[in-house]
Amino acid sequence: MEFSAGQEPPRARRTDTSATGEPVPRTRRDAGRWLLTSAVVTLAPLITASRPYPTGPVPGADAPFDETYLGRRIRGAPVDLGSRAAPAVEWRVTVDGRPLHLMRRADGSWLSMVDHYGWYGTPLEATRAAVDELGPRGQLRDLAPGPLHGGHPHREAQYGVRA
């Protein structure tokens, strides 16, 4: 076996076969392309997720709504808190006449009690997402069936026991 200075033996090189069956040697350029592609595929979701949610004013965000969405009647209006210093941040929203609780996040986006893993730019978007999550047959339950409607659910008040 003969070796030249600075070269490796032909069998030691990694090769792929082309369509004709002939070996095609891999180069450093191919390795660089593979590394760059894998880095882009790995980092793209992280870069996308790290972008901040737009916190600027959303046009029409404070407008009340009353519409039929996917066969459901959704209504919503901002609740006046009576303070001139702070804008109204609470909403009274109903889906088919049943209340849907919306919460405002620190970044200005909204989430609902039905779909609390996602956040939305307006209360209307959050309400539509809740209807999507409920599906065609799902119904909202009452917000407080216990203490507000007939006593404590554990009935300790009935016996005077406080633990």
Rg (alpha carbons) of the chain, rounded to whole number: 30
In angstroms, rounded to a whole number, what is the distance separating the alpha carbons of residues 47 and 136? 36
The upper half-sphere exposure of residue 119, i.e. CA atoms within 13 Å in the direction of its Cβ, equals 13
Token pair in block for residue 7: 């070269």
pLDDT digits (tens, 9 = 90+) for 100-116: 999 888 888 889 888 87
In angstroms, rounded to a whole number, what is the distance separating the alpha carbons of residues 74 and 86? 26
Q: How many residues does the chain have?
A: 163
pLDDT digits (tens, 9 = 90+) for 132-152: 998 888 888 765 555 444 555
| Residues sharing a CB contact under 8 Å with residue 98, sequence separation 6 or more, in sequence order | 139, 140, 141, 142
Choose the most confident range, by mean pLDDT, from 71-80, 112-121, 147-156: 71-80
